[in-house]
Amino acid sequence: MKHLMFFFFISASLFGYAQSKVDVLHYKYSIELNDNTDTIYGQAEIKLKFIRAVSSFKLDLILQNDKGKGMKVDGITGPGIRGFVRQGDSLEIILFYPVSMNDTASFIVTYHGIPSDGLIISKNKYGQRTFFADNWPNRAHNWIPCIDDPADKASFEFIVTAPSHYRVISNGVLSEEINLPGDKKLTHWKEDVSLPTKVMVIGVADFAVKIFDDSPAGIPASAWVYPQDSVKGFKNYSVAPSILKFLSAYIGPYPYEKLANVQSKTIFGGMENASAIFYDEGSASSNQTVESLLAHEISHQWFGDMATEKSFAHLWLSEGFATYLTHIYIESKYGTDSLNHEMQKDREDVIGFAGSSDRPVVDPVSPLMQLLNANSYQKGGWILHMLRRQLGDSVFHLSIRRYYEAYKGKNADTKDLQVVFEKTSGKNLDVFFRQWLYHPDLPRLMITWKWLAKQKKVMVTVVQFQKEEAFQFPLEIALSAGKATQQVQKMNITQRSETFTFMSKTKPTRVIADPFTSLLFEGAVTETK
């Protein structure tokens, strides 16, 4: 997600459990929509594997409340079902007899209701009716029965029956589209790649569609926008193919069979649904460039969708990666000055956030929507930037590629990433990962310098005054004489207060800390007499 447009406060405890009884292998959803009411009619065929011997298991589904919102289960069929009971926001399915570990079975849940969230049924900015799924983080079970946990990935398909004037977009490839009696149409999309529920979606609206001529070979990149926005929308989204080509070369082959860029009613600035990215309505009609927004969401196709965090406590593995890969793309197109400009802006955001938060980047405590913050995005991006600066471009690039190759189609946490970077670089990164990811603060520095005329030396003192323990990091300073940089010196900081001296033929007119924008810190440089 590029940025959060509305806030919902969802307790992390609702989502922090691991579904330990079953592993879903495949979902097949048949959904019927209509223009008369907001009631949806669904049938979910769920194939799963039992990962331990049990006599019951649970599916996540928001059940109908006394206000008529939520899903009502009409029936459940499958082998050995004794019955089902409602338990909070889940269904417990009870079996006549225990199943054995590693057994597989398919169950069909028939249901209907009005979603209170997850599937947004509303009107777009032109007053036309639309249906857009918006599942992140754990909102999918507002409208589909599932295991609503990023650690449980499955292949899936959506078979949508709707009035024939709509066009339907979803993940995967279009398997079937046929007209039905009663002015209806059936559209069948199928995704063979196993993905988390957070990025399984449908979008149903009156769309204008364009496939871009410069799409990568075999991977159609397209724009799906409201007809009223088609001219500007097609232009705004037209940068998608070039972004897709760059990231495929930098990370690894694009993992899906298409890339649809969709104008939508998502509550976010953008939502990285695999192969069918949903952007907010204004993105298609904006007079401002949306290139960075597209780069961010397309980056998620690899990190967040294909290589997924084990839990939302490690959200930076999704959002921090998308943030920094966007900057790398911008650097490749517009130069290093543009990268440094973005990093400097992000540093200010991190400093501002750290002043009001006591949470680290790896955060298992905060409510899920509150994880959409500068820790997950800008600080996560800065952590990758510092790894790149400290390890070098080639080692960093190889580490990113190896991490993706190891965890594509799987789930990872921060420790898994550390292991990959350590193996690739041959360095112990315990201190780096501990201080930047598991502590909430950042280096807050008072840097002073003094000219020692007789010795022809510059004495530099660096004092850390953050509340937490001393950080360890390399810090570069530039001794500047007028407009020309005289020399750059590197200091390896390990203590709360340290002093360094450097030879200099003349007194510097200015001492600049971090001249190449390589360190996340707060501080200023002053001269002392």
Long-range contacts of 118-122 (CB under 8 A, 24+ apart): 118/62, 118/142, 118/143, 118/144, 119/40, 119/143, 119/202, 120/265, 120/266, 120/267, 121/38, 121/40, 122/265
Alpha-carbon distance of 340 to 338, in angstroms, equals: 5
Tell me, yes or no, whether 326 lies in a domain: yes
457 and 425 co-located in one domain: no
Alpha-carbon distance of 434 to 224, in angstroms, equals: 43
Alpha-carbon distance of 332 to 329, in angstroms, equals: 5
pLDDT score, position 444 = 98
pLDDT score, position 86 = 86
398 and 521 co-located in one domain: no
Alpha-carbon distance of 505 to 13, in angstroms, equals: 61
86 and 122 co-located in one domain: yes
pLDDT score, position 110 = 98
Rounded to 10°, the helix 380-391/430-437 angle is 160
List the CATH number of the domain containing 431: 1.10.390.10
478: which strand partners? 488, 512
Tell me, yes or no, whether 116 lies in a domain: yes
DSSP 8-class letter at 7: -
- Cβ neighbours of 351 (radius 10 Å): 18
429 and 483 co-located in one domain: no
Torsion of CA 422, 425, 430, 434, to 10 degrees: -100
44 and 185 co-located in one domain: yes
Nearest to 118 by CA among 146, 85, 92: 146
pLDDT score, position 87 = 81
Tell me, yes or no, whether 155 lies in a domain: yes
List the CATH number of the domain containing 98: 2.60.40.1730
- The secondary structure of 457-515 as a DSSP string is EEEEEEEE-SSSPPP-EEEEEEEEETTEEEEEEEEEE-SSEEEEEEE-SS--SEEEEST
Nearest to 308 by CA among 178, 230, 195: 195
315 and 387 co-located in one domain: yes
Q: Are 107 and 93 in contact (CB under 8 A)?
A: yes
The sheet with strand 202-205 has its strands ordered as 119-123, 129-133, 202-205, 167-170
Tell me, yes or no, whether 409 lies in a domain: yes
44 and 148 co-located in one domain: yes
Alpha-carbon distance of 129 to 271, in angstroms, equals: 20
pLDDT score, position 109 = 98
Tell me, yes or no, whether 194 lies in a domain: yes
pLDDT score, position 20 = 65
- pTM beyond 0.75: the answer is yes
Tell me, yes or no, whether 136 lies in a domain: yes
Range of the domain at 400: 308-437
pLDDT score, position 6 = 37
- Give residue 252's identity as a one-letter amino acid code: G
146: which strand partners? 60
169 and 25 co-located in one domain: yes
User: Reduced to 3 states, what is the DSSP secondary structure of residue 330?
Assistant: helix
Asked whether the CA dihedral 162, 164, 166, 167 is positive or negative, the reply is positive
List the CATH number of the domain containing 485: 2.60.40.1840
Please, which residues have CB within 8 angstroms of residue 182's CB and are 6 or more apart in sequence?
none
Alpha-carbon distance of 144 to 59, in angstroms, equals: 10
Of 419, 437, 455, the residue at which a domain comes to its end is 437
Of 168, 187, 205, the residue at which a domain comes to its end is 205
pLDDT score, position 95 = 96
Nearest to 278 by CA among 290, 256, 291, 294: 294
* Count of domains for the chain: 3
Tell me, yes or no, whether 152 lies in a domain: yes
User: What residues of the chain score a pLDDT lower than 70?
Assistant: 1-20, 483-485
425 and 312 co-located in one domain: yes
35 and 178 co-located in one domain: yes
Of 405, 437, 469, the residue at which a domain comes to its end is 437
Tell me, yes or no, whether 29 lies in a domain: yes
Alpha-carbon distance of 73 to 70, in angstroms, equals: 10
Please name the residue that has the structure tokens 């292991």: 419
113: which strand partners? 40, 71
383 and 475 co-located in one domain: no
64 and 183 co-located in one domain: yes
